[in-house]
Amino acid sequence: MSGTQLTVTLSGGGADDARVVVRALEGTFGAPDELPADENATVHTATFDGEPEAGRAGGGGEGSGRLSAPVTVTVQGSPEAVRRASDTLTRAFTARDDGAASGDQEQERELLLEP
């Protein structure tokens, strides 16, 4: 896993809420592999492999949209990518840190984002 790759798993809320969260991360990580689209899914996943788009570096989070329901977000990647994702999400939403787990080269953190 590269230093910028991040996997995001979202549960709670709907596809619109998942898209709001993913869009909040785009300024920090660039465009995801794809936006959550399945309205019937109970869990959504997005993977970020790149850098922020030109003109959006360091942004992300601000003005990203509102959630209609609480969303549990698990971010997994390098410790730096997980830290950047957590920082971005806590700036963009009301968030509660539900803990982290660390491996040799990867880290995982769970956040509860509230509307």
40-52 pLDDT, tens digit per residue, is 999 999 999 866 6
How many domains would you assign to the chain? 1
Selection from 2, 11, 5, 4 nearest residue 74 by Cα: 11
The residue that leads in pLDDT, 60 or 105, is 105
Q: What average pLDDT does the structure give for the chain?
A: 87
Q: Is residue 43 part of a domain?
A: yes
Q: Is residue 46 part of a domain?
A: yes
| For residues 4-10, average pLDDT | 92
Which residue range is the domain that position 78 belongs to?
6-114
Residue 58 has a pLDDT of 45
d(CA 114, CA 26): 19
DSSP state of 51: P
Q: Is residue 1 part of a domain?
A: no
Residue 63 pLDDT > 80: no
Sheet strands (E) in 12-106: 43-48, 71-77, 94-102
Q: Is residue 19 part of a domain?
A: yes
Q: Is residue 96 part of a domain?
A: yes
Q: Is residue 56 part of a domain?
A: yes
Q: Is residue 81 part of a domain?
A: yes
CB under 8 Å to 24, separation ≥6 — which residues?
60, 61, 64, 65, 88, 89, 92, 93
Residue 53 has a pLDDT of 54
* Tens digit of each residue's pLDDT (9 = 90 or more) over 12-42: 999 999 999 999 999 999 999 999 999 999 9
